[in-house]
Structure 1
């Protein structure tokens, strides 16, 4: 059965919602990412700075979702201890760890030097760039929509 493009996006969206609602580490990574991206709006970043920070945040979230998918797949096949199941789960968790270490490196190489030169005038900078305000509002609306729609849609049950 072929799915429509809308259905495919819907399933992907619900996969993101599932990860956010059920995985403690995903919540932590997501909130940290939103915090770092929000902080970056107040710092004197150039295009490359935004690129590095955005990709570091995205990499952590993506690897956390892949880790969740691998753990669920392994659990589908066995609840008992198995050496290969442990290897699959440990390797997936290791990928998340490397992504998190990478994001810490980006934080120290890109964000910390910008904070050292920070002044309160940077808070007024955001008013000069409507795109920053738009991106911040889109992020906040996405979070709000995510948590409201999850409880309403399908009685809290997706296609999982």
Structure 2
């Protein structure tokens, strides 16, 4: 059975999707400490990436790594919210899901450090 919220098309669908995305960003900023910390990191790193005299490809890589951290953190937060919605009791599968999401964020942070290190010091 499909969601009753499906069915909008064209510009209405795009507008609604945009507003849902903004609501998701607001929710993450309001409820997720890690996301707020990573946004602060992005606020520091993105201007450096843009202003530092590198090639366009290097700038794109620097920016992409920062945005990837934010994207993966949003997905991790979504998984955690769903797991908590299903049940707050301790369960091995819930722990596994949360730990795997956390590992994904860790890998994106390692990727960020590696790419930035290679471009700036490499």
TM-score range, shorter chain: 0.7 to 0.9
Task: Give the unaligned 5+ runs of structure 2.
Answer: none
Cross-structure match for 1:57: 66
Contact 1:64 1:96 in 2 (8 A): yes
CA RMSD between the two structures: 1.3
In 2, Cα distance between equivalents of 1:11 and 1:79 = 26
Contact 2:50 2:59 in 1 (8 A): no
For CA contacts below 8 A with separation 6 or more, give which structure has more relative contact order.
Answer: 1
1:7 is displaced (CA, Å) by 0.8
Would you say 1:81 and 2:81 are equivalent positions?
no
1:112 is displaced (CA, Å) by 4.1
The count of aligned residue pairs is 113
Q: Displaced runs of 4+ in structure 1, greater than 2 A?
A: 1-4
Residues 72-113 of structure 1: CA deviation (Å, up to 9, x unaligned): 000011100000000000000100000011001112111346
Task: Give the unaligned 5+ runs of structure 1.
Answer: 114-160
Cross-structure match for 1:35: 44
Cross-structure match for 1:23: 32
